[in-house]
Amino acid sequence: MVTITDIAEALGITPSTVSRALAGSPRVKEDTRVAVLRKAEEMGYQRNIMAANLRKRRSDIVGIVVPRIHRQFFANVISGAESILNEAGYNVMICQTMEKLDVEIKVLRTLRNHQVAGVLLSHAIEARDSKHLAALGNIPLVQYDRVFFDYPGAKVVGANCEGAFKATKHLIESGYRKIGTIAGFMTSQAYVERLAGYRLAIESAGIPFNPDIVYENAIVRETGREAALKALEAGCDALYCCGDFCALGAVEALQEKGVRIPEDFGIVGTANEFFTSLMTPALTSLGQNPYEMGREAARAFLEGRTDTTVIPMELQIRSSSIRNTICQK
Amino acid sequence: MVTITDIAEALGITPSTVSRALAGSPRVKEDTRVAVLRKAEEMGYQRNIMAANLRKRRSDIVGIVVPRIHRQFFANVISGAESILNEAGYNVMICQTMEKLDVEIKVLRTLRNHQVAGVLLSHAIEARDSKHLAALGNIPLVQYDRVFFDYPGAKVVGANCEGAFKATKHLIESGYRKIGTIAGFMTSQAYVERLAGYRLAIESAGIPFNPDIVYENAIVRETGREAALKALEAGCDALYCCGDFCALGAVEALQEKGVRIPEDFGIVGTANEFFTSLMTPALTSLGQNPYEMGREAARAFLEGRTDTTVIPMELQIRSSSIRNTICQK
DNA sequence: TTGTATGCGTTATCAT
DNA sequence: ATGATAACGCATACAA
């Protein structure tokens, strides 16, 4: 393992100068700079990142915390963030919380112990408040997607309210009459806002908001099934779903009951996961631009922002929400 | 930031003893051990991993290199590996190569510079040989899924030959006659073996192997489409596909041509991605047990193995390869 | 522009 | 069982 001292000796100068030359400091003569660079190359020098980090009391790693890596949404956020961070010379450490609070706490402690340069976080469903985030100390934190607004610092969120409004309005315009919603967990602001957007669309259309057809705490396939069956019993003919997995469950449960989609019942999901386009019928879904969200979160960290950035959401209209012409009349 | 020196001073002992106590060394009296532990807890001590790693000349991080995080297969490998490594006190650094050789080289250099404890790698498609792996120096390497057999060290692979054999045999038993294969890249041993398994099944059934209906270099959706159209023209009535994405492309291209699946044409994919169960018809796929593969790769690292572990593959039979009774006659 | 001196926090070797 | 001391490789404040 060749060190800056080795290079210094080979060149008859001191490690300090080598260090400066390697760091591109202006306080070093051009000649010696090129000499150092060439020698370093020649000797196969590789900077010891540990030593540098210890000295600087900060690592070159940025932690990215996601609930689950399996979701296309988060995989895309990661890729987006990585694209920006790598360019800026940072490396990325990806951590999954599996939606569990205790894992999230453990993960944050690990990142803190590693003295990472920053953390991009979308909290676990189980995390009901922001208390545990303080464990990061003064490490810059950017919250994305699922954020706690009461915690200071940069945030990058989707236009949840606006998006859910568009999605619900689309269902209304498709001719559905009694539109319920699978609403997720009210402990998370993102879901609260989606519900608000849903409500706004409903009321804007002159329909009274009916809390009986708001199905909270559902987000996965199985709970989506249960919610859909309740909605059917309550006389609904459409559902705006806060996620694609619960929407999938809803579609399956309804189809098993002989309900035709979209003729009898309209469904819209959220996230625009890859599988939605392969379902029968293909699922209309509210896309969240995760790649762009990841890039924005990374930029927010790099620029030391403390404000909130909103990423637009786009409704990808497919078959599950379009009544055929006969029904539309 | 509280250090072992702080704890030592508070207790009137030396940093050495504190270090030993914290490390659980047997060379320290029980009383002082508990005293140190309690004091550390009380003062909110967090070990500085940088310093420890610098001193030990080795980090507590294991690098996991994947071509793309988006694939369910790799997401599951990661989760499996993580489950074992976290338990053993390691942290994980996930790196995507995007299937590019230059990115893979860069990533390996980064991991080396970080002096990671080990690397689990599935190489990029673009990597045609193992030359660049030497850049890791003496960092333990475990190759998984896509491996170079000419490079020494531990390997964890799927039972590709056996799996492809089962998949192809299944198509034969379903009554298909002219079975081609979308075969992937012959630069990768995994695909070579799948092709071998396919051939073995074909020949075991007394059918002569026909290289004209082997479609190489296809692996993504679009190339799968192209291969399927060629297969159709060549008179095939079934395809064993080395991946699920090329199988998806094949299904789509055939359906657009009015070919009915499975009645007219049988398809089997590989990897058992989530979306395969949602397609119409649902895609039969050869599952690779990625979670288990990740766990085995992690164990291979922990135990310092240098052999090859084979993970069985399981055929998940769905609609795309089962002819209805009328056709079967 | 370069050199000198020091310390980042830990672990390991040696001595006691 | 504990202490003293050095070293891991680098970066910076200060001196020249």
**Per-residue pLDDT tens digits for A229-256:** 999 999 999 999 999 999 999 999 999 9
Residues of A in contact with B49 (CB under 8 A): 113-115
Q: Give the predicted TM-score (pTM) of the model.
A: 0.90
Share of residues in chain A with pLDDT > 90 (%): 94
Residue whose C-alpha is closest to residue A179's, from A189, A167, A188: A167
Task: Give the residue from chain A lying closest to B44, CA to CA.
Answer: A135
Q: Do B112 and A76 touch (CB under 8 A)?
A: no
pLDDT number for residue B52: 94
Q: Do B220 and B249 meet the contact criterion of CB atoms below 8 Å apart? A: yes
Query: Where on strand D do bases come within 7 A of a protein Cβ?
Result: 1-13
Whether A328 has a pLDDT exceeding 60, the answer reads: no
**Which nucleotide is closest to the Cα of A48 by its C1'?**
D9
Footprint of strand D on the protein (CB under 7 A): A 1, 3-5, 15-16, 19-20, 22-23, 45, 47-48, 51-52, 54-56; B 12-17, 20, 26-29, 31-32, 51, 54-55, 57
Give the DSSP letter of residue B237.
Answer: S
Closest among B127, B72, B138, B119 to B98, alpha carbons compared: B127
Question: CA A318, CA B17: separation in Å to the nearest integer?
Answer: 67
Mean pLDDT by 10 residues, chain B (329 residues): 94 95 92 95 94 93 95 95 94 94 94 94 94 93 95 97 98 96 93 97 97 97 98 98 98 98 97 96 97 98 97 98 61
Q: Does domain A4-47 correspond to CATH entry 1.10.260.40?
A: yes
Please give the Cα distance from A269 to A73 (Å, whole number): 13
Contacts with B93 from chain A: Cβ below 8 Å: 61, 91-94
pLDDT at A218 over 70: yes
Which of A223, A226, A262, A215 lies closest to A245, judged by CA?
Answer: A223
Intrachain domains B4-47 and B160-289+315-328 with the same fold: no
| Residue of B94, B112, B113 lying closest to A94 (CB–CB) | B94
Residue A52, chain B, CB below 8 Å: the answer is no
Q: Which residues of chain A are within 8 Å of residue B69 when distances are taken between CB atoms?
A: 69, 75, 78-79, 94
End-to-end C-alpha distance for chain B, whole angstroms:
77
Contact A75 B54 (CB under 8 A): no
In the predicted model, what is the mean pLDDT of chain A? 95
pLDDT confidence bin for A6, thresholds 50/70/90: very high
- pLDDT tens for each residue of A57-91: 999 999 999 999 999 999 999 999 999 999 999 99
Output the CA angle A69-A72-A75, nearest 5 degrees: 50
Which pLDDT value is given to residue A324? 59
A56 touches chain B (CB under 8 A): no
| Alpha helix segments (H runs only) across chain B | 4-11, 15-23, 30-43, 49-56, 72-87, 101-113, 160-173, 189-204, 221-233, 244-256, 290-302, 325-328
Which pLDDT score is estimated for A323? 84
Sequence letter at residue B309: T
How distant is the Cα of A109 from the closest Cα of chain B, in angstroms?
9
Q: How far is CA A111 from CA A85, A249, A263, B47, B239, in A?
A: 17, 36, 50, 12, 47
Sequence-distant (6+) residues with CB within 8 A of A9 are none
From B116, which residue of chain A is nearest by alpha-carbon distance?
A50
Q: What is the pLDDT of residue B323?
A: 84
Contact B168, B228 (CB under 8 A): no
Cα angle: A176, vertex A177, A180; to 5 degrees: 90
pLDDT computed for residue B1 by the predictor: 86
Q: Which residues of B touch A244 (CB under 8 A)?
A: none
- Interface residues for strand C (CB within 7 Å) are A 12-17, 20, 26-29, 31-32, 51, 54-55, 57; B 1, 3-5, 15-16, 19, 22-23, 45, 47-48, 51-52, 54-56
**Interface membership of B104 toward A (CB under 8 Å):** no
Residue B154 CA and nucleotide D10 C1' are separated, in Å, by 34
Q: Which nucleotide is nearest to B57 (CA to C1')?
A: D8
* A244, A270 Cβ separation under 8 angstroms: yes
Cis peptide bond N-terminal to B67, omega within 30: no
Would you state the structure tokens that stand for residue B28, as one six-digit string?
């320290």
Q: Write out chain B residues lying below 8 Å of A70, CB-based.
A: 72, 75-76, 79
Extents of the domains making up chain B: 4-47, 59-158+291-311, 160-289+315-328
Treating both helix axes as pointing N-terminal to C-terminal, what angle do B4-11 and B15-23 enclose, rounded to 10 degrees? 110
What's the confidence (pLDDT) of residue B324? 59
How many residues does this entry show for chain A?
A: 329
Start-to-end CA span in chain A (Å): 77
Closest CA to B96 of B63, B65, B141: B65
Contact B262, B323 (CB under 8 A): yes
Among B82, B112, B278, whose Cβ lies nearest the Cβ of A46?
B112
- Would you place residue A329 in the very low, low, confident or very high pLDDT band (cuts 50, 70, 90)? very low
What's the rounded mean pLDDT across residues A81-104? Answer: 95
Q: Output the DSSP codes for A275-298.
A: GGGGSSSPPEEEE--HHHHHHHHH
Interface test with B, best of A278, A279, A320 (most B CBs within 10 A): A278
Question: How many residues are present in chain B?
Answer: 329
Rounded to an integer, the average pLDDT of A188-206 is 96
Spacing of A17 CA from D13 C1' in Å = 14
Residue B132: what pLDDT?
96
**Chain B, nearest residue to A249 by Cα:** B278
**A4, pLDDT greater than 70:** yes
3 state SS of A121 = strand
Is domain B160-289+315-328 in CATH 3.40.50.2300, yes or no? yes
- Residue B261 tokens read as 């699946």
What values do phi and psi take at B208, rounded to 5? -70, 140
Q: Which nucleotide is nearest to B25 (CA to C1')?
A: D1
Q: What was the pLDDT predicted at B328?
A: 43
Question: Side-chain half-sphere of A185: how many Cα atoms within 13 Å?
Answer: 15
Q: Does A79 touch chain B (CB under 8 A)?
A: yes
Q: What kind of fold does domain A59-158+291-311 have according to CATH?
A: Rossmann fold (3.40.50)
pLDDT confidence bin for A1, thresholds 50/70/90: confident
Q: Can you give the distance from the CA of residue A115 to the C1' of nucleotide C8 in angstroms?
A: 13
| A32/B contact by beta carbon, under 8 A | no
Amino acid at A203: E
Distance CA(B177)–CA(B55), nearest Å, equals 65
Chain C: nucleotides below 7 Å from protein CB are 1-5, 7-13
Sign (positive or negative) of CA dihedral B310, B315, B320, B326? positive
**Inter-CA distances, B316 with B122, B220, B255, B273, B274, Å:** 24, 21, 22, 11, 12
